[in-house]
Structure 1
Amino acid sequence: MTETVTPMMAQFLEIKAGYPDALLFYRMGDFYEMFFDDAVAASAALDITLTKRGKHAGADIPMCGVPVHAAEGYFLTLIRKGFRVAVCEQMEDPSEAKKRGSKSVVRRDVVRLVTPGTLTEDTLLDARRHNYLAAYAEIRDEGALAWVDISTGAVSVMACSRMRLGPELARLTPREVLVSEALESELAEVVSDLGAAMTGLGRTAFDSTSGEKRLCSVYGVASLDAFGSFTRTEISALAGLVEYLDITQKGNMPLLRPPVQEGDSPVMQIDATTRRSLELTHAMGGGRQGSLLSVIDRTVTAAGARLLERRLASPACRADVIGERQASVQFMLEQGRFREDLREALRGAHDVDRALSRLALDRGGPRDMAAIRNTLEVADRVNAACQAHELPPVLTLAARHLTGHDDLRDLLGEALVAEPPVLSRDGGFIAPGYDADLDEARKLRDEGRSVIAGMQSDYAALAEVPSLKIKHNNVLGYFIETTATHAEKMMAAPLNETFIHRQTTANQVRFTTVDLNEIETRILNAGGHALDIEKRLYASLKESIVAAAGPLGALAAALAEFDLAAALADLAQRENWCRPVIDDSRAFEVTAGRHPVVEQAQARLGAPFVANYCALTEAPIWLLTGPNMAGKSTFLRQNALIAVLAQMGSYVPASEAHIGIVSQIFSRVGASDDLARGRSTFMVEMVETAAILNQADDRALVILDEIGRGTATYDGLSIAWATLEHLAEVNRCRAIFATHYHEMAALASRLDGVENATVTVKEWDGDVIFLHEVRKGTADRSYGVQVARLAGLPTQVVERAKVVLEALEKGEREGGGRKDALIDDLPLFSATPVQPAPPQKVSAVEDRLAGILPDELSPREALALVYELRTLMDEA
């Protein structure tokens, strides 16, 4: 017997063949169903039940499904696990398919590909972060990188060599990167290091000639010259973006803003390793919590938060640009009342960019329209508040975009109810009084009972039958019912011209009238008619909003600028930060600098943060010594973070700061194995150090920690020594070089511009106390054994380490040959636990203090106690 494939399953297989790399969500009524391998993969990824439906090739067909109304949450889970989803919708009403025959299936087609870089729904996105889709293209020896956030419509492009690709992607952190299939294998490592998905496209997608035509078509222009002078490679990268959006959105192109060329205003170069080390926007664990961004973010709008992240990821390298941003923060700092009123108003603003994008893609709803309406009202309040102040240049420019939206604001204000539903299909979002036809349809729908009651009263009076009733059932609809006695009169002239007999039962007779039939039809259709009217009005409102996309985008950017300036001012005031001096010199001087993340963490524990001075102006390189746990890494990172904050336009955590423009920041603080590439910790350290020495220019800031520690002592010392010499003589950059090799302190007298500094500690009764204070000079030892003791190493291990250390140091003093002999003379290691030293005799002062509860002492009692303790000391 030959097994046949059902028409529905044949349709599924046909559609699935066009999307072999995606999970096909096949719409069946209120569910998206998956079959075959898709169902097996989805059930495991989503932790949902795997069932079966029929057979194919003699085997059961695996099946699983998710409700349509909850699909977005499942999309997000699958995207995070590396899947792509093809959404297949029903393209007609099932009743239409039935008309074609019993074996006909509902027409279906894929309406969208859901990928990491093409998300737009609020539930799938982090409102405070961009969701970039990037495309990289190469033509001969030139490269270009383009990126878009389709949830906001922002498009950018820049020339980008392959060597710069990794750092630029680290800056943008795109969710998905598009490349030509010919480049997939070559760029796979660069993209995977950033945790982004890579998608290969055919070469034709990046063709610059046809791509230029596609771009002109998307933007509705005859030439791209109006947007800038783009190279062929930049056009190629932009073309790849547009081609992919056309593929994934099935021709429903998102609302894209004109492409912006980056490069005119240079930004600080920070490679991926340094970004991870400094934890600018993501902590080491991968999340936002614990990063610099999480500590400084005081914005109250989503757009403001995204602007803050962009500025933090791309600090400016032009003193005039930085100065203008600082002026905005200073204005907000000085105008405290205005700032607080502004922040309160901005809390009512919504994410206009993403609402606009969803509406343009037909994924929005009435609530997105209300968000735009409410934000326009906020803009009016902000603009009115600005009139009483002389704004700095950046805010003056932003304020110009707050006005000119009166018509759209009034239209949405009149058309929409205060709290509309999420979906337009639910209806009820158009305000009463806006459309007369809609009001009539709603009245009929909502007041049908009162209309019928009025008709019943009229018919009872006409027939002179007080007991006459109008009733309803699912078979007859509305009908007039009376007893048989009264029915005879109603069937006789002249009443029979009004009342039409419909049905006789055992005790009752039922009639209808022409008017009742008509009103019944109108009542039954009123709900549908009201929805149809609202859909038409929704389309009209959407058209008006999309037509104003340009001004609305500028408004959203303006509010974000106000939000960021106010947020940075709030941060500066609450955390006591200062405005740094930024110029084109090579100065780097920070007084009482702090690490903002560590300071906040210690504040939660009730511990003070020790602020420190750093000056790399006269001596551009500091050689920093001191024991582990003393705070060297914190000191290194805090100065790099202060440079980043200063050049993004923020105030900084210090009492004073003077920073000459830093072009690059390089950090090599801590390292780990890279087992996937067969690299040891030491190899990773050397690769990162090589990148710094090969790339750092004379305006770079370099922070290095423990270079050479992963190999033999003299190997490590020689590498660290040569590295420091290269930084001073070849790179000629500003740097802080932390090391345990105390021998390197001699370089301060041999190299111009190198100065010794150390993190101070204090020894007390065999313990080491970390003071976390950086001062000029050098440490005479590393205190490693004491730190090991603090870490909880067994006592016998600590004591044995002291013996070995003493032998090694003695051998070093007496010459290398003697050192081996001393080690040979060491007694064998004993595993017997070392007995703790007997407790020392408690002094009279300590004995007296043991019973004191300071909180219970009055000032007079405390003073008396001091005199008493002094007497006890004298007697001792």
Structure 2
Amino acid sequence: MSDTITPMMAQYLELKDQYQDAILFYRMGDFYEMFFDDAVQAAAALDIALTKRGKHDGADIPMCGVPVHSAESYLLTLIRKGFRVAVCEQMESPAEAKKRGSKSVVKRDVVRLVTPGTLTEDSLLDARRHNYLAAIAQVRDDTAMAWVDISTGVLRVMTCPVVALAPELARLAAKEVLIADGTEDSFRSLIEDAGASLTTLGRAAFDSTSGEKRLCDLFRVGSLDAFGAFTRAEVAALAGVTEYLDITQKGQLPLLRPPVQENRAASMQIDAATRRSLELTHALSGGRAGSLLDAIDQTVTAAGARLLERRLSAPSRRLDVITARQDAVAALVDDPALTEDIRDHLRGTHDLDRALSRLALDRGGPRDMAAIRNTIEAAQRLEQTLNKAELPNLLAEAQSGLTGHDAIHDLLDAALVADPPLLARDGGFIAPGYDANLDEARKLRDEGRSVIAAMQAEFIATTGINALKIKHNNVLGYFIEVTATHADRMMTPPLSDTFIHRQTTANQVRFTTVALNEIESRILNAGSEALEIEKRLYAGLSDSILAEQAHLGLLSRALAECDLAAGLAHLARREAWVRPDIDDSRAFTIEGGRHPVVEAALMRAGQPFVANGCDLTDTPIWLLTGPNMAGKSTFLRQNALIAILAQMGAFVPATSAQIGIVSQIFSRVGASDDLARGRSTFMVEMVETAAILNQADDRALVILDEIGRGTATYDGLSIAWATLEHLHDVNRCRALFATHYHEMSSLSAKLAGVDNATVSVKEWDGDVIFLHEVKKGTADRSYGVQVARLAGLPPAVVARAKVVLEALEKGEREGGGARKAVIDDLPLFAAIPPAPTPARPATSQVEDRLRAILPDELTARDALALIYDLKTMLTPDAD
């Protein structure tokens, strides 16, 4: 094969040169093809065959491809594996290319750059979660972050010091983060820790001056002051986001809402380690299942689910906001019939935000338009239902957003069929009667013969020639045919003015008319004409919808607000949750508190959850002791989760709760290492503890579990001791501190704000029984050996552990040199004779008789006789 580069391959290389950091999906007919290194990487990532096409520099050109109709699934796989994909489409048909010359290559161009933060297709997204693209910008000493979800149009920005970037990225779970060239060293670590893809842009993209003008043009305003008083750093971050969208979408910008400025002080601060520990939106095992979000999500719409995640990820610190949300939930808790009516209406709605976004990016279709129409209809029914009830402010505001969409609904209702196809190119989505030209084209397409028959009848009436026929052949097309005897009349005025002679045969004469020629052309082109008319109407409908996008955005937010309130009310009634009292005090009193995730798991297993109270109002720190497996970690976490639920505006799993606004929540529960950074489990523990001690304020809630366990006993005890004192004297926060260092219980006598609590257990025949009940007091020991036995350690190991434990406790009591002497006197493990296997106890007559019984074979009479026999064996006759 020739080593000469073909024109097509030259075109490929030219396009690829513009997108060196992306895999190029090069459209060739019904396939996207990849070549060279792209093909090698894609074939391995997608597990598809690697072939070859021609040669370059003496070597085979690797090639692989994926079908266009199933390309989205392959795109998703590549994106999840860290690749970016440049989608190159054919900009003309092969027939059009041939008109320019037989060797002309079909024009192609990249129409879109697909990256983790710029996905819009339903098949590539989780409908119930946002997909955020974030940008970090620095202007002198100020840092800001902007983020956008182009699938919904959400655009937010906030001033954010560098130290707070990691918690905010964890809150957003951003998929891709943009930074300026040259700042990688400053931000790479925190972006990678957040699990996001890092993308660099030229510094000019973050220029605040040119960026402000670009943003004003985008939102068609003279000044950004209409949206808020943005700092230069915030403008730079917004500019970076919009510049990147322009690059990736090739100028086809998504439908963005005006930017909203967020204030970090308005939300409870939760760092990344705490989010992982509390499993707010993701379980430690990975995925949504087992998280708090999964346990409480009763929403029935995608927009409602996304709103729930936003609220859960950033609970409010504003008392008026929390109260308004609670009022909405409470009103629906008190009216279960209204709640279910709302949920029923909402089940008929669709994801407006993403439908609008797809239409704006020209990636939508008639089905998106039908979804908007159907959603407006469901919203109208919902508004009528809400109109019958007395609503709190939040729901009343939502109700007002459900109205005012009659015009766009009527347009779509008149224009669209009930169940349109997915894509406009398929046609058949415009309703009959909406457009006369379309109806006529369809009639010609579908009923060509009847149209010709009607014209024939018209010509017969005009000429008075009953033998006149309209016929068709492949040479002449449609023509009018009469016998030779009638030809003279047809060629004599006035008929000759209409009928044009075309051909004379032996017995027949053939004519045509201008009208027949037009009909013929229209019949032959009716199918494509009908499709073109539908496409034109589709474009007009799309423009009409997008002109109403602001009002439709309000409708979407109103539906989400109703969905969230109804979902939380449904949850509260079903699980017997209560409305917490929230105030500006430092109170923290919970009675009968429960862990919502653990309780749900136990209920599925048919087991009860033991509720516990917690009162940090007068003594803000509890020192919690008790054995492993007793439920200390569950108790710690459940109180933090109750605070989060309360401040997001939900009811809580408790019999009552009073909570003073919590500014921050910190959790150091569980053990993990960070081998990639060379951090041991203990080092990770100390880093997270340091973050807590350096950041927690007097309104924070801190939960700590087993601080200091990763090092020597006295090292660990001293660190835990000092940490508790710092929380009490310096941070002055509310805290739950679980430990196995029982020596620390003496701190309650020295520190006024510390109280002791323990988790109850009972011993029975050498075993430990967990009661899971938290009460005031201290544990006398940790029962570690008993727990090890329950875990299945070999009996010899358990027995040895008991011996060593007794020796250590004896040495501790005797102190001094006696401690070492006791330990030195321990015999070696191998020298201990194995414990004898206990002899099987002798069985009684009753046991022997019972073992011989087969219950399934007993009749009622046999069973009664057996009872008498057993009773006789237990109580012999007096004789």
TM-score (normalizing by structure 1):
0.93
User: What corresponds to 1:683 in structure 2?
Assistant: 683
User: What corresponds to 2:732 in structure 1?
Assistant: 732
User: Secondary structure, in 3 states, of the residue corresponding to 1:430?
Assistant: coil
**2:479–2:510 Cα contact (<8 Å) kept:** yes
User: What corresponds to 2:296 in structure 1?
Assistant: 296
Structure 1 residues 77-88: aligned runs within 5 Å: 77-88=77-88
- In the superposition, relative to structure 1, how do residues 222 and 36 fare at CA in structure 2: closer, same or farther (>3 Å)? same
User: What corresponds to 1:102 in structure 2?
Assistant: 102
User: What corresponds to 2:181 in structure 1?
Assistant: 181
- In the superposition, relative to structure 1, how do residues 494 and 51 fare at CA in structure 2: closer, same or farther (>3 Å)? same
C-alpha separation between the residues in 2 aligned to 1:787 and 1:111?
62
C-alpha separation between the residues in 1 aligned to 2:667 and 2:848?
51
Structure 1 residues 140-539: aligned runs within 5 Å: 140-263=140-263, 266-454=266-454, 470=471, 477=477, 513-514=512-513, 516-539=516-539
1:168-223, Cα deviation, whole Å (9 max, x unpaired): 11111111011112221221110111111010111111111111111111111111
1:519-558, Cα deviation, whole Å (9 max, x unpaired): 3211111111111111111111111111111111111101
Deviation at 1:814, TM superposition (A): 1.0
Deviation at 1:285, TM superposition (A): 2.4
User: Secondary structure, in 3 states, of the residue corresponding to 2:533?
Assistant: helix
**1:317–1:662 Cα contact (<8 Å) kept:** yes
C-alpha separation between the residues in 1 aligned to 2:808 and 2:505?
117
1:604-655, Cα deviation, whole Å (9 max, x unpaired): 1111111111111111111111111111111111111001000000000111
- In the superposition, relative to structure 1, how do residues 334 and 103 fare at CA in structure 2: closer, same or farther (>3 Å)? same
C-alpha separation between the residues in 1 aligned to 2:476 and 2:806?
106
**1:491–1:501 Cα contact (<8 Å) kept:** no
**2:86–2:112 Cα contact (<8 Å) kept:** yes
User: Secondary structure, in 3 states, of the residue corresponding to 1:402?
Assistant: coil
Deviation at 1:84, TM superposition (A): 0.5
User: Secondary structure, in 3 states, of the residue corresponding to 1:49?
Assistant: coil
> Which amino acid letter does the alignment assign opposite residue 189 of structure 1?
S
User: What corresponds to 2:541 in structure 1?
Assistant: 541
- In the superposition, relative to structure 1, how do residues 503 and 86 fare at CA in structure 2: closer, same or farther (>3 Å)? farther
C-alpha separation between the residues in 1 aligned to 2:152 and 2:260?
14
Identity %: 69
User: Secondary structure, in 3 states, of the residue corresponding to 1:543?
Assistant: helix
Deviation at 1:459, TM superposition (A): 8.6
User: What corresponds to 1:630 in structure 2?
Assistant: 630
**2:456–2:468 Cα contact (<8 Å) kept:** no
- In the superposition, relative to structure 1, how do residues 843 and 680 fare at CA in structure 2: closer, same or farther (>3 Å)? farther
Farther off after superposition, 105-114 or 674-683: 105-114
C-alpha separation between the residues in 2 aligned to 1:845 and 1:260?
80
**1:707–1:719 Cα contact (<8 Å) kept:** yes
What residue ranges of structure 2 are gaps of 5+ in the alignment? Answer: none
C-alpha separation between the residues in 2 aligned to 1:400 and 1:848?
78
C-alpha separation between the residues in 2 aligned to 1:832 and 1:519?
107
Deviation at 1:820, TM superposition (A): 2.4
Deviation at 1:328, TM superposition (A): 0.2
User: What corresponds to 1:611 in structure 2?
Assistant: 611
C-alpha separation between the residues in 1 aligned to 2:667 and 2:844?
50
1:788-827, Cα deviation, whole Å (9 max, x unpaired): 1111111111111111111111111111422222222222
What residue ranges of structure 1 are gaps of 5+ in the alignment? Answer: none
CA-based RMSD of the aligned residues comes to 3.0
Corresponding residue pairs, total: 859
Structure 1 residues 843-858: aligned runs within 5 Å: none
Residue 49 (str. 1) matches residue 49 (str. 2):
yes
Deviation at 1:828, TM superposition (A): 2.4
**1:265–1:318 Cα contact (<8 Å) kept:** no
Deviation at 1:87, TM superposition (A): 1.0
C-alpha separation between the residues in 2 aligned to 1:242 and 1:787?
57
1:563-606, Cα deviation, whole Å (9 max, x unpaired): 10000000000011011111111111111111111111111111
User: Secondary structure, in 3 states, of the residue corresponding to 1:21?
Assistant: coil
User: What corresponds to 2:839 in structure 1?
Assistant: 838
- In the superposition, relative to structure 1, how do residues 805 and 246 fare at CA in structure 2: closer, same or farther (>3 Å)? same
User: What corresponds to 1:581 in structure 2?
Assistant: 581
1:197-253, Cα deviation, whole Å (9 max, x unpaired): 010111111111111111111111111011110111111111110111111111111
TM-score (normalizing by structure 2):
0.93
User: What corresponds to 2:707 in structure 1?
Assistant: 707
Deviation at 1:71, TM superposition (A): 1.6
C-alpha separation between the residues in 2 aligned to 1:209 and 1:470?
72
Deviation at 1:838, TM superposition (A): 3.1
> Which amino acid letter does the alignment assign opposite residue 41 of structure 1?
Q
> Which amino acid letter does the alignment assign opposite residue 808 of structure 1?
L
- In the superposition, relative to structure 1, how do residues 209 and 464 fare at CA in structure 2: closer, same or farther (>3 Å)? closer
**1:245–1:253 Cα contact (<8 Å) kept:** yes
> Which amino acid letter does the alignment assign opposite residue 837 of structure 1?
P
C-alpha separation between the residues in 2 aligned to 1:668 and 1:504?
100
- In the superposition, relative to structure 1, how do residues 465 and 388 fare at CA in structure 2: closer, same or farther (>3 Å)? closer
- In the superposition, relative to structure 1, how do residues 51 and 452 fare at CA in structure 2: closer, same or farther (>3 Å)? farther
C-alpha separation between the residues in 2 aligned to 1:77 and 1:547?
35
Farther off after superposition, 264-273 or 75-84: 264-273
- In the superposition, relative to structure 1, how do residues 800 and 445 fare at CA in structure 2: closer, same or farther (>3 Å)? same
Farther off after superposition, 94-103 or 630-639: 94-103
**1:795–1:833 Cα contact (<8 Å) kept:** no
1:68-101, Cα deviation, whole Å (9 max, x unpaired): 2222221111111101111111222332321221
**1:265–1:316 Cα contact (<8 Å) kept:** no
Deviation at 1:501, TM superposition (A): 6.7
Deviation at 1:379, TM superposition (A): 1.4
> Which amino acid letter does the alignment assign opposite residue 720 of structure 1?
A
C-alpha separation between the residues in 2 aligned to 1:814 and 1:313?
53
C-alpha separation between the residues in 2 aligned to 1:411 and 1:14?
46
User: What corresponds to 1:23 in structure 2?
Assistant: 23
User: Secondary structure, in 3 states, of the residue corresponding to 2:316?
Assistant: coil
User: What corresponds to 2:90 in structure 1?
Assistant: 90
Deviation at 1:846, TM superposition (A): 8.9
C-alpha separation between the residues in 2 aligned to 1:587 and 1:758?
21
> Which amino acid letter does the alignment assign opposite residue 94 of structure 2?
P
C-alpha separation between the residues in 2 aligned to 1:444 and 1:32?
37
C-alpha separation between the residues in 2 aligned to 1:815 and 1:264?
54
- In the superposition, relative to structure 1, how do residues 857 and 566 fare at CA in structure 2: closer, same or farther (>3 Å)? farther
User: Secondary structure, in 3 states, of the residue corresponding to 1:40?
Assistant: helix
Deviation at 1:493, TM superposition (A): 7.4
C-alpha separation between the residues in 2 aligned to 1:452 and 1:549?
46
> Which amino acid letter does the alignment assign opposite residue 621 of structure 2?
I
Deviation at 1:450, TM superposition (A): 2.5
Farther off after superposition, 257-266 or 705-714: 257-266
